[in-house]
Amino acid sequence: MSLALRAGPWTLVPVAAGTVILAAGCTVGPDFHRPAAAEVADYTAQPLPAHTAAAQVRGGEAQHFLAERDLPGEWWQLFGSPAITALVKRALQANPDVRAAQAALRQAQENAFAQEGAFYPSLQASFLANREKNAVDVVSPTLTSGQALFNLYTPQLVVSYVFDPWGGNRRQSESLQAQAEAQRFQLEATYLTLTSNVVAAAVQEATLRAQIGATQEVIRIEAEQLALLQRQYELGAIAGGDVAAQEAALAQTEATLPTLQKQLAQQRDLIARLAGQFPSEEPGQRVELDELNLPQDLPLGLPSRLVEQRPDVRAAEANLHSASAQVGVAMANTLPQITLTANAGSTSTQFRQLFTSPTVFWGLAGGILQPLFDGNTLEHRKRAADAALEQAAAQYRGAVLTAFQSVADALHAIEHDARALAAATRSERKAAENLAIARKAMELGATSSLPLLMAEQTYQQALSGVAQARGNRYVDTVALFQALGGGWWNRGDNSSGEPQEQARALTVTAPGDRR
């Protein structure tokens, strides 16, 4: 149903006034309220120990769980590595994923700004110039002068306004603002993922270097033992089979080295990629496992605050807000739409006569449009919006569960990998003692080469296991800091403590950006 009103300006005043009252009257659809914090007292089913196991090796210190302490914003500095800090800084400046997330945030913000234009009247100006010739002997002349050939100039201003009595425009603006908020948290999630990946990749590089060093040490020991066995063989003290067995053991150990070196090279390629560089532009920083400090105090924060700290959960919450507002948009589209249009201008065959009294025209029009039959299109769109809201609610719930799972997984890994390192350290020491005994016995001719070969193999595995276990403890700590949200709310460039301000600080200002 469409109703148009045309009258003088004073006739339309009561209609306009009534419409303004309607515009301020209501906003259809559900009002969004933030979901309540999860009522969870602990991250894990069993209480956490006061501290983890300790091992007599660098990186084997006991770690303490501190529930009341908050995570620092630049958590990677806790590892005490200038190389890691430099890599993180370079990655934040040059990584294309950050730039893409920044551009997505600007796009969402501009879309939200654009929707705000619906709150104001639109004003358009036009100027039309025609050259016409009429057949005056066939139809009545267009002009009172009866001229067949003439110029016609028509400048005009048109003002139009779509009233929002049901809040459809406001709900649409609310939805777009929520989408911009989601993009802010997506940017923060990108920031967190990038920094975590850089630190984890650097730790893995250091672990591989330690494993390579351990393998080279075993190769040195086996080469020395091979030289000893060859001298004994030349003296007739042992059989040739003992020498051949030692040669095979040395070759087997040497065969493991290229695999580790390949993994190290690929890890360097990954670090270059994270830093926004090509593999040929290998970063100058090198990370060694012995140079890293293991953070001994692990600030966990309160479980009730986790949903506020995790960027992915906050993004899911913003998507839920957007879906809620879209329900209001769908409901408003089924209700009457009210528009007001006014135009004024002048038309004349003589340019100099424009805007003189006889050439001026104006008009006012008000319209009400109520859909009566559309094949249930609007009803199905309303149902689709309801389903999208239900989907967003389920996704938010899933994001919350995933957040708590990731924290619990990291805590379990920290606890059990500390025990694994302690056991690996004990195993390495016993393997070293056993190797020393086997070498001494072999030198004295008191045993065959078989116990020595077994001792060498055990020692090699123990050395590599210690290096891997040490690296696991650092990686577990990185995973925990990432699972807790990365401490973005405590960074120095985020004075408000809210992710919106932090995201804006990370955003590169584009030319013509209105904010």
Q: Is the pLDDT of residue 44 over 50?
A: yes
The whole-number pLDDT of residue 507 equals 37
Residue 226 near residue 246, CB atoms below 8 Å: yes
Could you give the CA distance from residue 193 to residue 187 in angstroms, rounded to a whole number? 10
Decide if 486 is inside a domain. yes
Q: Which residues neighbour 452 within 8 Å (Cβ) at sequence distance 6 or greater?
A: 225, 246, 435, 438, 439, 441, 442
Could you give the CA distance from residue 79 to residue 86 in angstroms, rounded to a whole number? 13
> Rounded to the nearest 10 degrees, how much is the dihedral formed by the CA atoms of 207, 490, 72, 508?
20
Q: Is the pLDDT of residue 11 over 80?
A: no
Decide if 135 is inside a domain. no
pLDDT in tens, 453-497: 888 888 888 988 999 999 999 999 999 999 999 999 987 765 334
Q: Which residues neighbour 155 within 8 Å (Cβ) at sequence distance 6 or greater?
A: 125, 126, 127, 128, 345, 346, 354, 355
**pLDDT confidence tier of residue 38, bands split at 50, 70 and 90:** confident
pLDDT in tens, 69-121: 889 999 999 999 999 999 999 999 999 999 999 999 999 999 999 999 999 99
Q: Taking residues 446-453, what's their average pLDDT?
A: 72
Tell me the pLDDT of the chain averaged across its residues: 86
**pLDDT confidence tier of residue 12, bands split at 50, 70 and 90:** very low
Decide if 514 is inside a domain. no
* Strand-pair partners of 369: 2, 337
Neighbouring C-beta atoms of residue 410, cutoff 10 Å: 22
Decide if 105 is inside a domain. yes
Instruction: Identify the CA nearest to 284 among candidates 196, 379, 395, 202.
Output: 202
Could you give the CA distance from residue 83 to residue 68 in angstroms, rounded to a whole number? 30
Instruction: Identify the CA nearest to 44 among candidates 366, 300, 218, 417.
Output: 300
Decide if 134 is inside a domain. no
pTM (2 d.p.)? 0.83
Name the more confident of 300 and 502.
300
How many alpha carbons lie under 13 Å from residue 465 in its C-beta half-sphere?
20
Q: Taking residues 247-274, what's their average pLDDT?
A: 93
How many alpha carbons lie under 13 Å from residue 446 in its C-beta half-sphere?
7
The whole-number pLDDT of residue 178 equals 96
Decide if 363 is inside a domain. no
The residue range of the domain holding 309 is 57-120+165-335+377-506
Decide if 502 is inside a domain. yes
Name the more confident of 13 and 165.
165
The whole-number pLDDT of residue 494 equals 55
Q: Is the pLDDT of residue 14 over 90?
A: no
**pLDDT confidence tier of residue 154, bands split at 50, 70 and 90:** very high
**pLDDT confidence tier of residue 233, bands split at 50, 70 and 90:** confident
The whole-number pLDDT of residue 226 equals 87
The whole-number pLDDT of residue 391 equals 97
With residue 313 as reference, give the H or E element that holds it: helix 311-332
The whole-number pLDDT of residue 6 equals 36
**pLDDT confidence tier of residue 239, bands split at 50, 70 and 90:** confident
pLDDT in tens, 171-228: 999 999 999 999 999 999 999 999 999 999 999 999 999 999 989 988 988 898 888 8
Instruction: Provide the number of structural domains found in the chain.
Output: 1
The whole-number pLDDT of residue 499 equals 42
Highest-pLDDT range among 28-32, 134-138, 318-322 = 318-322
Q: Is the pLDDT of residue 1 over 50?
A: no
Name the amino acid, one letter, at 76: W
The whole-number pLDDT of residue 139 equals 66
**pLDDT confidence tier of residue 452, bands split at 50, 70 and 90:** confident
Decide if 416 is inside a domain. yes
Name the more confident of 166 and 135.
166
pLDDT in tens, 391-448: 999 999 999 999 999 999 999 999 999 999 999 999 999 998 888 888 888 777 666 6
The whole-number pLDDT of residue 448 equals 65
Name the more confident of 325 and 20.
325
CATH at 485? 1.20.1600.10
With residue 378 as reference, give the H or E element that holds it: helix 377-444
Could you give the CA distance from residue 96 to residue 106 in angstroms, rounded to a whole number? 15
The whole-number pLDDT of residue 141 equals 65
